[in-house]
Structure 1
């Protein structure tokens, strides 16, 4: 009787499969080593490195699959190398998935929602969702010009409304006592709280980086990636906040992945409500297959975040984000 051959044997077909897995694994390991060295050496120094940084967690995804395949093919040397890479991923991204503490409310709590307005066909869906999750402060981006004078459909629950003139509106249940160029001041139980509603530039060039790729789906968008304008806008905001002594909230569409290097700079200045209260990635974009968290509710250390939730699909290109903050 002939012997039944395992597909993972080192002979004939099994040997080919083992060599194929080893080849793919080694190419991947070398690629990741080059990426990690370049990230350490140059940060986001080139557009393609900055793009990789934005999706950093997903660059480790093949490691687990290849680790299992090398285990099945008894390729111990490559399994150890891939295991070290998996260990690095656990150390780097594992804290994102640890259960967050649940602090008790001790001061005045308020709910802040940031939301990209959907197309006209889904505006009512957005308003219905807001009514189902009534906030104290609603930060809207991409508001159509016809709504710039106010949103009557929400005025009964959010009577205080201001527009920034660039597609952003701040709606509040609490009294608005000042409207400056870049922020709104609300009265929270007798204390002044600054609210910044932001919508930073998309990290993309207005023109193709390579003419041959102009209009080519996916490749054109990918090769236009450029963080310079967005990062400058974020640093300008951080410079303003550096000397601010009053409590503040900064919410909106940052167009920034939490894996980007500039995220760490932002977190040195203020607190990320989602990271302080929730486990997981909290991805808000794209709507139908969320991969990255581009929307945030940040706050000064005068607040403690109690809860942060990613909202439902309301027909916009981003999912809404809701944060419950405790002013102490």
Structure 2
């Protein structure tokens, strides 16, 4: 129940509700409501809106993309949205990709298909270390490519499954905090207490080098930051971008990393 309330009332929604209530209040209480809304707006902006100067990108730096494709998009749509083929891409909730067709179209690249709508692409050879699924439908794939350890994460979004169960499962799967990137749909915002372990051991790519609102959901409205790219502190985040999309209710995330 607490999860449902939390998801239904992100700060932007609370601000709108406070302003709406002001319409029916007396002048005295309307002033109080407007002050409250202003304070909440400042809190939201200070936490969610980021401004950074990106570093220069070299050819040797890695371009890494994550997207919740909302079951309507495949790799080709993701490449098009990204305006190019990145070094590494992870899709969750993607429609059935024809991996053999993509292999024929991109014969020098590497693809991996999970049995749970989770797909991995890399320009370098892929080594799948493990694929683990909880009984409540949270998936974590550990793979290696470009000499970096990756974890692709898809936490169940069901309201009848406590987020604590999904994130505790993910935390148990992450057994490395060096030379590691964790990316996926965590279905909890950055403020969640269940991301405490990540905040200690990793840098948040958007917080480090992103510009604009951090939130990736819902339908281009910056309500909740459910999608994350976490980068171990021995790797350098150079630049992070967020792409608004009409094709999915989640924005696409891209970050550039230097080893």
**TM-score of the pair, normalised by structure 1:** 0.62
Aligned to 2:151: 196
**Contact 1:99 1:278 (C-alpha < 8 Å) held by counterparts:** yes
Query: Secondary structure at the residue paired with 2:213?
Result: coil
Q: What's the RMSD between the two structures over aligned residues?
A: 3.6
Distance in 2, Cα, partners of 1:322 & 1:121? 17
Unaligned runs of 5+ in 1: 1-44, 206-225
**Contact 1:148 1:165 (C-alpha < 8 Å) held by counterparts:** no
Cα displacement string for residues 54-105 of structure 1 (whole angstroms, at most 9, x for unaligned residues): x1343134456778998x94x3x76357535633552464143242243456
Distance in 1, Cα, partners of 2:4 & 2:36? 25
Residue among 6, 9, 14 paired with 1:59: 14
Alignment of 1:10-29 (within 5 A): none
Structure whose CA Rg is larger: 1
**Structure with the larger strand share:** 2
**Structure with the larger helix share:** 1
Query: Secondary structure at the residue paired with 1:236?
Result: helix
Residue among 115, 129, 137 paired with 2:81: 129
Unaligned runs of 5+ in 2: 132-140
Distance in 2, Cα, partners of 1:162 & 1:121? 16
Distance in 2, Cα, partners of 1:104 & 1:124? 27
Distance in 1, Cα, partners of 2:148 & 2:75? 29
Distance in 1, Cα, partners of 2:66 & 2:178? 21
In structure 2, relative to structure 1, the CA distance for the partners of 1:69 and 1:109 (3 Å cut) is farther
Paired residues in the alignment total 250
1:160 aligns with 2:160: no
Residue among 97, 108, 123 paired with 2:49: 97
The offset of 1:151, in angstroms, is 2.6
**Contact 2:129 2:142 (C-alpha < 8 Å) held by counterparts:** yes
In structure 2, relative to structure 1, the CA distance for the partners of 1:245 and 1:273 (3 Å cut) is closer
Residue among 162, 169, 172 paired with 1:239: 172
Aligned to 1:141: 92
The offset of 1:185, in angstroms, is 0.8
Distance in 2, Cα, partners of 1:256 & 1:62? 22
